[in-house]
Amino acid sequence: MSDRLDWVEVCAVDEIDEEDVIRFDRGTKTYAVYRTLEGAFYATDGLCTHEQIHLADGIVIDSLIECPKHQGRFDIRSGEAKSAPACVNLRIHPVRIEAGRVHIGLSD
């Protein structure tokens, strides 16, 4: 596996509200892309590590995403599992903004 990133366009900046999350699917993988109240963007794998539930159906609170099924929480900036039953961290992905569009960096 190489360290090369494939930058993939997800959406327009204004398609994600502040303190919200959207789902982005590519091939067989699902990602979650977040916007904080401060306007920063983050991306993680899109499924909760506890029971593989889509995080985009959850709630963003400050810099945390809460899974809609069992309320496990993750830090969207680092992917760190912050409350049970979630105990395995999420994989994070780099984000960049170009010409008003959100892109996430995915490795091979």
Domains and CATH numbers, the chain: 5-107 (2.102.10.10)
**What span, in angstroms and rounded, lies between the C-alpha atoms of 75 and 82?**
7
- Which parts of the chain register pLDDT below 50? 1-2
For position 107, what pLDDT does the model report?
86
For position 108, what pLDDT does the model report?
62
For position 1, what pLDDT does the model report?
43
Q: What is the pTM of this model?
A: 0.92
Q: Which of 30, 27, 33 is nearest to 10 (CA)?
A: 33
